[in-house]
């Protein structure tokens, strides 16, 4: 096996196999899927997010005028970020639905949203758990660990 080494005065590079240089291919390692934030989701985005396989969609129903929604939002965002996972090991996607928008009102009516903030967790398109009101960080963490 022939190795080629490339050196610079400031940098030293790992040698590459000659077969990699000739074929022009390199291998890359796949990282685990990252959590996705869907801000101000419309009907199409909402449907896509809640039906994702192997993931849990945490849907935050909010309004701009809602004070408790503004308190809850940063807590939910930080706890659903990577590397946090549900108690069952699934990664989270955070979907934010503005209930003041036309599409947000339609989605909210479908899931009978009567108070804000309301958070519903979906797995494979099915609601699995929810809470209403602004929980503290420990309460949100416990909710996410139960999923």
- Residue of 74, 76, 75 lying closest to 59 (CA atoms): 76
* CB-count burial class (<10 Å; 0-12, 13-18, 19+) for 112: exposed
Q: Which CATH superfamily is domain 37-146 in?
A: Glutaredoxin (3.40.30.10)
CA distance 57 to 134: 18
Domain extents in the chain: 37-146
- Does the predicted TM-score (pTM) go above 0.85? no
State the Cα–Cα distance between residues 75 and 139, nearest whole angstrom: 10
pLDDT in tens, 59-97: 999 999 999 999 999 999 999 987 878 888 899 999 999
Catalytic residue among 56, 58, 66, 97: 66
Residues 72 and 59: their CA atoms lie apart, in Å, by 12
CA distance 93 to 9: 45
- Identify the active-site residue in 69, 76, 94, 95: 69
To the query of whether residue 20 is one of the catalytic residues in this protein, the response is: no
């Amino acid at each position: 096996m022939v190795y080629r080494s490339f050196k610079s005065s400031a940098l030293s590079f790992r040698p590459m196999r000659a077969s990699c240089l000739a074929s022009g291919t390199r291998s890359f390692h796949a990282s685990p899927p990252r959590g996705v934030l869907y801000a101000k989701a419309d009907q199409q985005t909402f449907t896509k997010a809640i039906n994702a396989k192997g993931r849990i969609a945490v849907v935050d129903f909010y309004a701009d005028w809602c004070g408790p929604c503004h308190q809850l939002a940063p807590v939910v965002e930080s706890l659903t970020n990577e590397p946090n996972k549900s108690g069952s090991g699934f990664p989270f996607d955070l979907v934010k639905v503005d209930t003041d928008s036309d599409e947000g009102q339609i989605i909210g009516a479908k899931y009978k949203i009567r108070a804000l903030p309301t958070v519903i967790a979906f797995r494979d398109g099915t609601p699995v758990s929810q809470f209403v009101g602004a929980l503290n960080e420990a309460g949100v963490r416990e909710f996410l660990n139960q999923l």
